[in-house]
Structure 1
Amino acid sequence: MWPAGRERTARWVERSLPAGTRVIGGRPLRGGWTSEMWHLETVDAEGTRGGVVLRSLVREFFRRHAPGLLGREARVLELLAPGPVPAARLLAVDPTGEHADHPSLLMTFLPGGLRLGSRDGEPAEHLDHRLRLLARQLADIHRFEPAPADRPRTWQAWTAADRVRVPAGTGRPEVWRRAVEVIRRPPPEPSAYRPCFLHRDHHPGNVLFSGPPGGERITGVVDWVETSTGPADLDVAHCSSALALLHGADTGLGFADHYLREGGRELAAVPADRLYWYLVDALAFAPDAEKVAAVWRGVGRPDLTPERAADRLEEWLVALLERFDR
């Protein structure tokens, strides 16, 4: 079951489970790119079968940042445990890799699976149903208000104007130049928005669904390592970017309307501010969105080739500039 060299991790997991519970099998999970994820099958002393999920940070970049990433996720899972957001329950965390072979977090298993849409398209009402669920769930997350001492860190940008990598073969360099210039200015002042609790990585690849197409329900929200405090616009922008890559720019642009209809917070009233939040998110995918497209190809979207992902990212920038650059 375990890959070679994971003996310490196996022993740590066994020690972290409730007394009398042991691991009887497991399989790697797909759908993420920051972590190695495993679904471990368990059985307790009474013979009842169950499961847990193990997240391990094995790539060197993420290992270096593991204490902050896993420590933050552990704290967030503890905060969310008594509330209505369908998040896993924390079982154990080893943020430095002191006990396991890699920095790791152990949590309860959530049912359901990813629904990224069909490679051949799907009825519009099926996609619309999931969009409404995604928007409603995000609005619920933004309504969660931890005590002041428990608020997550202030949001951080994942790119900056001088770090954006423009695709070498683009036929529209002026689009990239205009987009980069937007995020070269300082972000909107905190006085321009009411900070809230952000998932910070809310998108279809981090939401689990159960049920038939067109009648799904959300059974879990995962990946809380980047949870932050900041403007609701930023979470809306990130989910919109992912939807634009998966389904096209029109779908991305429409997500904010779903969010507002489902009871979300007021978004920035100034078009320039809306554009900033959208672009500071979208440009973090540059130059081609391949880092997420490669993962999505492995979980049911082989149509998202590197070329198609790159084209959709550029089309997303064009759509945003046309809508908000006034």
Structure 2
Amino acid sequence: MAEGESAAVVETDADDLGWSNTRAWVEQSFRPGDRIRAVEKLRGGWTSQMRRLDVEGEGKQYSLVLRSFVKPFFVKHSPGLLTREADVLRLLADTAVPAARLHSVDAAAEHCDHPSLLMSLLPGNLRLDGEDIERKTELLARQLVMIHKLLVPEESRPRTYQAWTSPERVRLPEASKRPKVWQRAVDVIRRPPPAYRPCFLHRDFHPGNVLFTGEGSGLTITGVVDWVETSWGPADLDVAHCSTALALLHGAPAGMQLADHYVAAGGTLSDDPGDHLYWRVLDALAFAPDAEKVAEPWRELGRKDLTSSALAQCLEDYLQALFSRYG
């Protein structure tokens, strides 16, 4: 997680967080003499409760990030989710991907108040504003290419990807002025998934999970976080997910640029426009009707303009742009 998320940090009283057992578990992993000096609650996510732990002792001061699942749905699925993230962080430790270092994990809450994972703090911060969109999109594309080109031994590969919607599960907006666009989108995914060449996927790669430092030409990615959904599947799907998020954050044109930057950076997408369209639409429809859930943490980080109606309009414009380009 981010060292520079100062704008997204809220000071809090550690004793009011219901985490006495978790704190004891964390401190047991420390070197002799180390102790937690301060605790801050991090904003910007909705699946987990995130805390920054500043540690001091006889050695150098350092900071860690604690992820805890507290919502019933995620507590139920935490053994799989947190074990997967721990495995992925171990896998990435010897690669060039800027991911956190695993410190400790208690996926089933055997020792903690809630299922928890402890990891290193990464430098940088989230950049969800409209500055340097072109540069950010290029960097996101390059980072995805690096992730997708990782050579992962068969025994270390994550689970096969899971689709996050289907024609039967899609909820369409009720007030759309272009209902045919939405119906056409549903029709696009009424087919078996296209054949694909599988690779290592982040599966939830978007600007809300990427940390940056610098400005302009000096803008750099310093961290990629939230690896609980990591999967094995088509590169098109990761590109689709990030493209949808860019469209919601910055408008349809931004969502349409990522795939071009990805290919220019050396990535490979489906040669069949219809197949590529399938993955793009499959991801976009998972946000229907208004992407309210994903936008909640974005609004906490300053994007108050992302209302339900604005998001629905962005999503509709993005679908239309996909049809105009890919058929």
Same fold by TM-score greater than 0.5? yes
Tell whether the 8 Å contact from 1:129 to 1:215 is kept in structure 2 after alignment: no
1:61 pairs with 2:73: yes
State which of 105, 128, 135 in structure 2 corresponds to 1:116: 128
Task: Give the 4+ runs in structure 1 shifted more than 6 A.
Answer: none
| 1:10 aligned partner, one-letter code | R
State which of 31, 46, 67 in structure 2 corresponds to 1:33: 46
Find the residue that maps to 1:65 and give its secondary structure: helix
| 1:55 aligned partner, one-letter code | R
Report the CA distance between 1:213 and its aligned residue: 4.3
| Stretch moving more, 240-249 or 10-19 | 10-19
Aligned ranges 1:166-185 → 2 under 5 Å = 166-185=172-191
Aligned ranges 1:33-112 → 2 under 5 Å = 33-46=46-59, 48-112=60-124
* Structure-1 separation of matches of 2:151 and 2:302: 35
| 2:324 aligned partner, one-letter code | E
Find the residue that maps to 2:218 and give its secondary structure: coil
Tell whether the 8 Å contact from 1:127 to 1:214 is kept in structure 2 after alignment: no
Tell whether the 8 Å contact from 1:17 to 1:91 is kept in structure 2 after alignment: no
Runs of at least 5 residues in structure 2 that lack an aligned partner in the other structure: 1-12
Cα deviations across residues 92-147 of structure 1 (Å, max 9, x unaligned)?
A: 111111111111100010011001124xxx4xxx2211111111111111111111
* Structure-1 separation of matches of 2:294 and 2:93: 29
| Stretch moving more, 291-300 or 100-109 | 291-300
Residue 196 of structure 1 corresponds to 199
Residue 272 of structure 1 corresponds to 274
Report the CA distance between 1:254 and its aligned residue: 1.0
* Structure-2 separation of matches of 1:63 and 1:171: 40
* Structure-1 separation of matches of 2:31 and 2:126: 28
Q: Summarize the Cα distance change of 1:282–1:18 in structure 2 as closer, same or farther, 3 Å threshold.
A: farther
Aligned ranges 1:1-326 → 2 under 5 Å = 1-2=13-14, 3-46=16-59, 48-118=60-130, 122=131, 126-189=132-195, 193-264=196-267, 266-325=268-327
Runs of at least 5 residues in structure 1 that lack an aligned partner in the other structure: none
Tell whether the 8 Å contact from 1:130 to 1:214 is kept in structure 2 after alignment: no
Cα deviations across residues 211-249 of structure 1 (Å, max 9, x unaligned)?
A: 134521111100000101111100100110000011111
Cα deviations across residues 179-228 of structure 1 (Å, max 9, x unaligned)?
A: 11111211012xxx321110111111000011134521111100000101
How does the TM-score come out when normalised to structure 1? 0.93
Find the residue that maps to 1:287 and give its secondary structure: coil
Tell whether the 8 Å contact from 1:144 to 1:197 is kept in structure 2 after alignment: yes
* Structure-2 separation of matches of 1:198 and 1:44: 38
Tell whether the 8 Å contact from 1:289 to 1:310 is kept in structure 2 after alignment: yes
Report the CA distance between 1:292 and its aligned residue: 1.5
| 1:183 aligned partner, one-letter code | I
Find the residue that maps to 1:184 and give its secondary structure: coil
* Structure-2 separation of matches of 1:207 and 1:110: 10
| 2:292 aligned partner, one-letter code | E
| Stretch moving more, 168-177 or 69-78 | 168-177
* Structure-1 separation of matches of 2:290 and 2:203: 21
* Structure-1 separation of matches of 2:27 and 2:257: 46
| 2:18 aligned partner, one-letter code | G
Find the residue that maps to 1:220 and give its secondary structure: strand
Find the residue that maps to 1:250 and give its secondary structure: helix
Find the residue that maps to 1:263 and give its secondary structure: coil
Cα deviations across residues 273-311 of structure 1 (Å, max 9, x unaligned)?
A: 011100111111111011122211111212212221111
| 2:30 aligned partner, one-letter code | L
Tell whether the 8 Å contact from 2:137 to 2:257 is kept in structure 1 after alignment: no
How does the TM-score come out when normalised to structure 2? 0.93
| 2:245 aligned partner, one-letter code | A
| 2:31 aligned partner, one-letter code | P
